[in-house]
Amino acid sequence: MKKFFIVIITLLMAIIGTIGADDSDSYRFVDHLLRRSGPGKPEIVADSVVFTAPSSYRRVGIAFGHEGFGKIYWFRKLMIPNEEASPWIKDKPPPDMFRDSGMLFHVFPIPETLDRGELEYRLIIDGLWVRDPLNPDYKTDTSGISKSVVSIPRIKRPDSPSRGPGGTLTFTFYAESGETVSVAGSFNNWDPFMYELPETSPGRYTLSLPLPPGVYQYAFFHRGERFLDPSNPRRVYSRDGKAASEAAVD
């Protein structure tokens, strides 16, 4: 039932614009957000930083120092199932199936150049530039402007599929030890059961496939869910609207 709710939340967020084409894998963090009691200090989850803010704000944006504070990313509202909603009857309006979780959020993938560094940022809350009121870590520059900061550790990043031997694609996925992970794509008619990734080290699943030269689309399958390759920025969309990672064999 929980997975069903997560799928519904993801679909809802896509409809209302909470997940855009440039970060369609934000759904990976929905389960993490659902475990939170509310907005708080930024958290490092996998290879990204998850920022949150109260949904009582009308609009929240974030800009980063390494980009010269020149680009604004807007937070999205997390909606959750309304447990009090019950089946409606004839002549009565349907209940609200979803309710406000109380959180706005933004997921920011950590650039490799910031590993073991510091991420500086400022928020725009209802039109005003401010430092993050939920983050106690900040510094003030010589002009008196305060900037919130997040310390970035060394991130263990998945291998790129382009790093395999010639004539192959090497797929790598990280999860808890003892899991079942598979890969499927245009090379096997999207059969999610054909190619299972063996666990080559604790939590690291790797498989190399010899393939003819060409361009291939693929995705990982884990715990019944479909995942894009976080190490591969090249993505395409199929005719049915599903996103897939793409890689080439020379």
pLDDT, tens digit only, all 250 positions of the chain: 444 444 444 444 433 334 333 344 455 567 678 788 899 999 988 778 999 999 999 999 999 998 899 999 999 888 777 665 455 555 555 566 777 889 999 988 887 667 568 899 999 999 999 999 999 999 998 888 999 999 988 766 555 665 556 678 999 998 888 999 999 999 999 999 999 999 998 888 999 999 988 888 999 999 999 999 878 878 887 666 788 888 888 7
- What was the pLDDT predicted at 6? 43
| Domain range 2-151, CATH class | mainly beta
- What was the pLDDT predicted at 213? 86
Q: Which CATH superfamily is domain 161-249 in?
A: Immunoglobulins (2.60.40.10)
- Give me the DSSP letters along the chain: -HHHHHHHHHHHHHHHTSS-GGGGGGGGGHHHHHTSSS--S-EEETTEEEEEEETTSS-EEEEEGGGTT---EE-EEEEEE-TT-----TTSPPPPSEEEEEEEEEEEEPPGGGTTSEEEEEEEETTEEE--TT---EEE-TTS-EEEEEE-----PPPPGGGSPTTEEEEEEE--TT--EEEEETTTTT-TTTEEPPEEETTEEEEEEE--SEEEEEEEEETTEEE--TT---EEE-TTS-EEEEEEE-
- What was the pLDDT predicted at 51? 95
- What was the pLDDT predicted at 215? 86
Domain with CATH 2.60.40.10 in the chain: 2-151, 161-249
- What was the pLDDT predicted at 9? 42
